[in-house]
């Protein structure tokens, strides 16, 4: 079968464990062909795994990744899919910006407390 990959091939390529790939399989995100005990993943499965891992790096949940991947429609411009992804990216950026502001404030408060302690020691 052309363009098939074993679980070990994909684990090596994407630097994940075979357990991780089986987890995504158990969740129904990728569906390999079975030949006896051997799992054979298609090019489409490989692409889905790549997108799942990219979504994870972006902070998307598995359900969010699944929704976006499932929106893919060959032969169209996939505007709905891309707009959904843009929305999720904007949500994630806003959350990270808020966390950054909180961290900056906390760092300033720690600097102030440290300075008060140093002043008290002198």
pLDDT class for 78, splitting at 50, 70, 90? confident
Q: What's this model's pTM, rounded to 2 decimal places?
A: 0.78
Q: For residue 2, what pLDDT is reported?
A: 65
List, for residues 11-67, the tens digit of each pLDDT value.
999 999 999 999 999 999 999 999 898 999 999 999 999 999 999 999 999 999 999
94, 61 Cβ separation under 8 angstroms = no
Burial of 63 (0-12, 13-18, 19+ CB in 10 A): exposed
Nearest alpha-carbon partner for 30 in 41, 20, 18: 41
Report the first-to-last Cα separation within the chain, whole angstroms. Answer: 77
> Which run of H or E residues covers position 34?
strand 33-35
């Amino acid at each position: 079968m052309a363009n098939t990959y074993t679980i070990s091939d994909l684990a090596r390529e994407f630097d994940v464990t075979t357990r991780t790939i089986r987890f995504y399989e158990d969740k129904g995100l990728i569906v390999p062909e079975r030949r006896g005990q051997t799992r054979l993943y298609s090019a489409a499965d490989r692409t889905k795994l790549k997108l799942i891992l990219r979504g994870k790096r972006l902070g998307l949940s598995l359900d969010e990744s699944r929704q976006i991947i499932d929106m893919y429609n060959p032969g169209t411009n996939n505007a709905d899919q891309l707009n959904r992804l843009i929305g999720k990216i904007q949500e994630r950026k806003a959350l990270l910006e808020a966390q950054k502001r909180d961290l900056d404030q906390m760092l300033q408060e720690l600097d102030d407390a440290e300075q008060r302690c140093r002043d008290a020691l002198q």
